[in-house]
Structure 1
Amino acid sequence: MQLSRFTDYSLRVLFYVATNRERLATLGEIAGFYGISLEHLRKVVHALGKSGHLETFRGKKGGIRLAIAPSSINLGALIKQTEGEYPLIDCSIGPCCLVTSCSLQTVLAEAQRAFFSCLSGYTLDDLLDNPVMQQQLIATDEP
């Protein structure tokens, strides 16, 4: 199982704005910091704003910041939101001749529940409890 680029970028944006909370961050600044596409980030930030994780401000002095405390951002819930909770395989596609007797879908569903259960035990704040990572995330060339 691999998380999507959308989820990866969502986490990166949250890391960045949570570490630089004393000011608004800009999309260009975050894109430059991570070396990723501004257009991808625009979609990510829009979704995080709609979900209530970020506050966004337009205009010349606009930017983004966390809308809620990092300790309130549950990783399991965030990743379920960004990835969706779809079966790891879709046995109805094909259709597979083993669909009535195969137990693979059940085993994968159990593994997926365990995956989200593990992630649900952590918050953004837990991930940010790393001084080296925090130091790397502190903006050195603020706008």
Structure 2
Amino acid sequence: MRLKKYTDYALRVLIFTASKREGELANKKEISEVFHISENHLGKIIHELNKLELIDTIRGRSGGIRLAKDPEEINLGSVVRSMEDDFHLLECFDCATNYCVITPACKLKGVLHEALRAFWEVLDKYTLDDLLTNKQELRDLMGLK
């Protein structure tokens, strides 16, 4: 299974924003420079995170973004579910497009369902706060003072 870059970048935006000092705002330009992601693409991600009420966007000359919730309230499983739109690991996961002739007898679908459940169980155990236990190291790597 592979997550989209969109989801990866959304998680990076959250980590970056959560790594800022109390009261500091993050901005699209600095996130773009740190992670080498186009500002245009980040704009779409920031818009989506704002719609999901995970970040607040502050407009204006000294505007930027900040977390809308405490990091311990942002569940990783929820973020990934919100950013991804397709968890059909195989053709047979989607009844509308399944033409596999062995579906009625195939055991693979059950095994992969179990694996997907385990994936979600692990992600659901963690919050953004769990990703910040080495906050100073992250700040150093991202060039935050």
- Which residue identity does 2:140 align to in structure 1? Q
SS of the aligned residue for 1:86 comes to coil
Unaligned runs of 5+ in 1: none
What CA distance in whole angstroms lies between the structure 1 residues aligned with 2:139 and 2:64? 20
1:20 touches 1:138 (CA, 8 Å); kept in 2?
Answer: no
Unaligned runs of 5+ in 2: none
Tell me the alpha carbon deviations over residues 84-128 of structure 1, each in whole angstroms, 9 at most, x when there is no partner: 463311224361111221121121111101001011111111111
Give the corresponding residue for 2:79: 78
What CA distance in whole angstroms lies between the structure 1 residues aligned with 2:133 and 2:118? 24
Structure 1 window deviating more from structure 2 (58-67 vs 46-55): it is: 58-67
1:19 touches 1:137 (CA, 8 Å); kept in 2?
Answer: no
Report the alpha carbon displacement of residue 139 of structure 1 after superposing the two structures with TM.
2.2
2:25 touches 2:66 (CA, 8 Å); kept in 1?
Answer: yes
1:128 touches 1:134 (CA, 8 Å); kept in 2?
Answer: no
What CA distance in whole angstroms lies between the structure 2 residues aligned with 1:63 and 1:136? 21
2:91 touches 2:100 (CA, 8 Å); kept in 1?
Answer: no
Give the corresponding residue for 1:41: 42
Match runs of 1:24-35 below 5 Å: 24-35=25-36
1:54 touches 1:64 (CA, 8 Å); kept in 2?
Answer: yes
Aligned length: 140
Give the corresponding residue for 1:51: 52
What CA distance in whole angstroms lies between the structure 2 residues aligned with 1:31 and 1:38? 6
1:139 corresponds, among 131, 141, 144, to: 144
Report percent identity of matched pairs: 42
